[in-house]
Amino acid sequence: MSRAKKIAFKEIAKRITGFSLPVFGIQWNPPESEREVVRETFLFLEDRRALYNDFAHEIDYEVLESILSIRKELTEALKRLPEASKAVPYFKSMRAACREYLDATRGDGRRWSAPFSFMTQLGRFRTIVGMNIAHLAVTFGIDIEGELARVVLPEVQDEKYLEA
């Protein structure tokens, strides 16, 4: 005999949006799937050129705007996820990478204190985001498509790695 899963009344009450009479009815908002939140975030990230454009084609202020946009989207996704979601640590890691990039590129009031600082910081950002995307894709069974696949490291792109 299987045990029934306990559903807290508060969880049910949060999702009820209305009642109707004379014939009894109830309006309901089902919980959003964690997988759907991750998939929608991937769709957003597919259009962020800061993640995959060639370094030679990147312009620092456009990258800055893109990373600010990514950070905002990750925060919105975190708001939609339950605290215990397996996606939360990966989203937080990517958001921290955004903050790290922003801090590193604004530190002393000058844009870039060293000639290769921009490329170094952007490369680090892409690496962190790419690894987190790879883990999320495997955890939630979501294919990485389009340009977003370029941010995943070559070792991770290998099918043998993903099957392990």
- Each of the 164 residues of the chain gets a pLDDT tens digit; together they read 445 444 444 554 455 555 555 555 555 444 569 999 999 999 999 988 888 877 766 777 788 899 999 999 999 999 999 999 999 999 999 999 999 998 887 754 455 555 467 778 888 998 999 999 999 998 988 888 888 888 886 554 445 444 44
CA quadruple 149, 153, 158, 164: dihedral sign: negative
**pLDDT at position 145:** 83
- Distances from the Cα of 141 to the Cαs of 65, 133, 137, in angstroms? 30, 11, 5
Cα 87 to Cα 33: distance, rounded to the nearest angstrom: 11
**pLDDT at position 17:** 55
Indicate the burial class of 28 (C-beta count within 10 angstroms; 0-12, 13-18, 19 or more). exposed
**pLDDT at position 30:** 47
Q: What is the pTM of this model?
A: 0.71
**pLDDT at position 61:** 78
Residue 69 backbone phi and psi in degrees, to 5:
-65, -40
Find the radius of gyration of the CA atoms of the chain.
20
What is the token pair recorded at 12?
A: 């049910």
